[in-house]
Every structure is written in C-alpha cells, then in structure tokens.
Amino acid sequence: MNDTYINPLSTRYASYAMQHIFSDDFKFITWRKLWIALATAQKELGLAITQEQIQQMQAKVSDIDYAACKRYELQFRHDVMAHIHAYGDQCPLAKPIIHLGATSCYVGDNTDIIVQKEALLLIKKWLVNAIAALHDLAEKHTSLPCLAYTHFQAAQPTTLGKRICLWIQDLLFDVEQLDFTLAGIKLLGCKGTTGTAASFLSLFDDNHEKVKQLEEKITKSLGFDASYPISGQTYSRKIDYFILSVLSGIAQSAYKFSNDIRLLSHLKEVDEPFEKSQIGSSAMAYKRNPMRSERIASLARHVTVSALNPALTASAQWLERTLDDSANRRIAIAEAFLATDAILQLVINVSRGLTVNPHVIKRNLHAELPFMATENVLMRTVKKGGNRQHLHERIRTLSIAAAARLKEGESVDLLADIADDKSFGVTKEELYDMLETENFTGRATEQAETFLQDVKKFLKQNEKLQGAKAEITV
C-alpha cells in the first residue's frame, strides 16, 4: 500500500489512453520534438546547425533520463532548464543549439496545446460511442409509452425513446461545441519572451521574412495549420477556458442523464448494469443502488467547477506574462480531462447495459392515466361547446379531491367523478375510450423517429470512432 496520496482519477476512474496523454512521457517527448522542430527549421533557414546535431537529438527523443532531470531541477529550480541540460548531456553535439532563441513557453505552451488537442480527440471518440449506445437504446423503445414528469410530478405521457432522444440531443450539442473549439485551436508558435520574436529576429539578422518562415515551418511540422498571430510570452489563457467549457458542457449533459437514470431507478422503470457479485450496500443486502450514475454525478460536479479555474486564470494574467497560472493549470486542466474521460466511459457503460422494465413502466403509467386523461377531456368538451375556464376549474377541484382520497388509502375513480358532473356532458364509457395510451403521447414517436434519422447520419459520418471499449475499473 502506498503511504502517500495518489490521485483517484488515475487509480479508479480515467482510461489508460487519457492518462497517457497527460503523462510525463507524452509531455517531455513532445518538448523534445519541439526542440527538434526548432533546430530543423533554423537549419533550413540558414543557421549554423548541422544534420548530425539534429540526428543526435532525434536518436534520443524518447530516451529521457528522468533521474538526471530531477537532479538538474533541484539545482536550477526550473523544469525547462533541467530538461535542456539532461537532453544536452545525451546529445553532446547538439547541446549548444538546443532551445536556441526560445523561451520556456515555447515548449511548455505548445505542448499544452498539443496535449489538449489530443485529449479533445479522445473525448470526441467517447462522445460518439455514448451517442451510438443511446441511439440503439432509443431505437428499441421509440414507441414505448411511459409517464412523463414535470417537477418530478406525473405529467402528460411521452415515449421512452423520445426521452432518450433528449439525452442524445444534449450530447450532440456538446459535439458541436467540441468541434468548433477544436477547429480553432492553434499553436503558440515561437514568439520569444514577450511575444515579439525579438530573439529570433536577432538570430536571423533582422530578416523578418525568415522569422515568419521559422514559425510557419515549426507549426506545419507539428501538424497545425496556424499559430496564434498575437501573444505575450504565453498563448491567451482564454483558450484553456474555451476548452474546459466544452468539458463542463459534457459534464452537465452527463449529470442530467445520470440524474434521470437515478430517478427512473427509484421508480423501478430501469436498472443500470449490476454484476452478479456486485454489492449494493454493506448493510442492506437487498439494495441495488445506481452507483455508476451516482459516480457520473459526482465526477460531473468536479468538472463543472473545474471550468472556473481557467476563467479566473485568464482574468488574472498580468501584461505579457505572470507565473501564477502554472501550478493551477498543471492540476485543473489534467483533472478536468481525466474526469470527463471517466464520466463518458460510465455513460457508455450504463447506456449499453441499461435494463428497461416495460411492465413497471406500464403499471406506473396506468396508475396515473385517469389524471392524464383530464387534459383530453377538457379539449373534447370545449370542442363540444363547453366553457374552458369553468371546466378547467371543475377538473382541478375533482382531481385534487380524488388525489386526497387516494392518499388516504381509498380506491378512486376520477373518470367516474367527471362523468357524474353534468358540466362535462360525457359518459363514463366515452371517458374510458380516451384511455388508450396512444391518445396521450402526442407526436413523441414521430419526433423520436425523425430525430434518430439525423443521429444515424451523424454516426455514419463518425463511423471510424465507434466500437470503443469503455473500461469501468471499480
């Protein structure tokens, strides 16, 4: 057992793939790729850098001596300088030209952008798989009537498929925001200590064109179309806010989904996956708690709150650079991505394994159907010439009285009460004819069917991202 704190996002929740993106290896190998890109571009533009120096750097790009890095960092109290020296020790020919003209943010900020772009692509894969799982579930139950709820009070019926479409639509909104944000992400580039590129201009003897070409070459070699045209020493911290806002939106959608599952589990209309040997409670052996949905809700709160960190960081930056962003960003950005990764795997797992209990759904619907029928009664009797306001008041009075008797344990027949009221002018038989469930779900089935056709198109466009395995560790 470890005797120091370990982040549960790594040990319990997040995928290996997301953890790797935020790992030291991914980060520091990317630093070295950036140094190679810088040296290569500088050589191509005429600086005295040899191919042998670049080859030596390339040979050691993934061979990081972490012990040496640690020793140097204790000496210098500067992580970038520590890695420059450790890399230089491994590449003695290249040591004089590593990081030439650059500032720490050249490797730090560009790597942060690369990491977040890679992480967003993984998040999109999870989103597509969550939508695919919910699409399959909605398609099975497009026409299954169920009681709808407003304020968690029984309301006009819908279909289960239509309800699931509400969850899908939220996730599709999230994909739109993710794609928009992803399309706008650029590299910092190589702009020096205050964003003016003065050091590079000096290296190239005041040749502005070569400095522009240097940044273009580096940007292209790292797989980006462009770098931000204006920056201080860092890229604008608003970019982090935009990215974490996407994650916050996903967390909000997942939170709503999980709350709905928890409510429906209480009603016994659905059950989330529950393994053969799973224990719901250490005390109450009969319990089958919706713990996966509860975990989604718990992690979603963390992600939603995490979006506040980059907002405050962006607003607190001083002039061209201040360092009060660094420690916060190391924690907030990684944790938001790891938690969102865990959330979406849970959404996929719950959606793929959700059990629907149609008999319970039918029983709950029919228990409330006479009350639901009152809206149809109102519409029909008004069409026959009744006074809408007067009849609404009569229905309200009769419904409240019937509900009160029901709570006292009496048997209640609200439709018989309405039939006995001469204001309505309808028979009990006419009222019972209205109780066919298809009379109450409106266009729910048609809406869901039309919507799911659009979802199919989306899934077809993202076919290559589907089929991902969602791992639930604990």
- In 261-303 the beta strands, taken as DSSP E runs, fall at 270-271
Site of tokens 């810088």: 38
Q: How many CB atoms lie within 10 A of CB 388?
A: 11
Q: How, if at all, do strands 270-271 and 153-159 pair? A: unpaired
Whether the Cβ atoms of residue 210 and residue 45 lie closer than 8 Å to each other = yes
Q: How many CB atoms lie within 10 A of CB 131?
A: 26
Q: Nearest Cα to 464, choosing from 119, 132, 17, 15?
A: 132
Burial 215-253 (b: 16+ CB within 10 A, else e): bebbbeebebeebbeebbbbbebebbbbbbebbbbbbbb
CA of 27: how far to CAs of 24, 110, 139, 326, in Å? 5, 10, 42, 15
Beta bridge partners of 356: 270
Pairwise CA distance, residues 321 & 237, whole Å:
11
Pairwise CA distance, residues 38 & 324, whole Å:
27
CA of 334: how far to CAs of 54, 67, 91, 303, in Å? 31, 24, 31, 11
User: Catalytic residue positions?
Assistant: 151, 281
Pairwise CA distance, residues 468 & 455, whole Å:
18
Residues contacting 376, CB < 8 A, separation 6+: 434, 439, 440
In single-letter form, the type of residue at position 339 comes to A
In single-letter form, the type of residue at position 292 comes to R
Site of tokens 């790729």: 33
Q: What are phi and psi of 149, to 5 degrees?
A: -135, 135
CA of 124: how far to CAs of 121, 338, 357, 413, in Å? 5, 13, 31, 51
User: Can you spell out the DSSP letters for 226-239?
Assistant: -B-SS-SSS--THH
- Return the structure tokens found at 287: 């319990």
CA of 259: how far to CAs of 295, 349, 361, in Å? 11, 16, 18
